[in-house]
Amino acid sequence: MADLIKNVVFENKTGAFSATLTAGYTINQIIIEVVLSAGLTPVTTKIGTTIGGEEILREYSLVSPDSFIVIAKNSARYPGWDVTNPVYCTVTGGWVNIYLQTIKAIS
């Protein structure tokens, strides 16, 4: 039996980056953890279906290292976007770990 859950991990990331997820899976959960920030400068993260977009996660800021947020999502809500298309992440103000949990879409 195929894995029901697959995780995509971005470690110590800043700036813009992307990944293509496994076909047949949807984004179920997003965890963002601040690794390094400059003092009280907010570390801002957004995730979209286009470069610089925020269709999956609107711009969200965390301040201190080791702070994190868990967000439950259902990527089936984005018409015209398929999980085989890349997800684009943009991080400013510091470095983060991003964990995308994907779950097999059952039809």
- What's the per-residue H, E or C state across 19-73? EECCCCEEEEEEEEEEEEECCCCCEEEEEECCCCCCCCEEEEEECCCCCEEEEEC
* Separation between Cα atoms, residue 100 and residue 28, nearest integer Å: 8
What is the count of structural domains for the chain?
1
Q: What integer pLDDT is reported at residue 107 of this predicted model?
A: 63
Identify the CATH number of the domain in which residue 28 sits.
2.60.120.860
What are residue 77's phi and psi, to 5 degrees? -80, 0
> The pTM is what?
0.84
- Residue 17 domain boundaries: 5-104
> Alpha-carbon Rg of the chain, whole angstroms?
14
Q: What is the mean pLDDT of the chain?
A: 83
Kindly report, residue by residue over 11-31, the tens digit of the pLDDT.
999 999 998 888 778 888 899
* Distance set, CA 49 to CA 18, 61, 63, 68, 74 (Å): 10, 19, 25, 22, 14
Q: Which among 87, 63, 62, 79 has a CA at the least distance from the CA of 9?
A: 87
Question: CA-CA distance, 26 to 16, in Å (whole number)?
Answer: 22
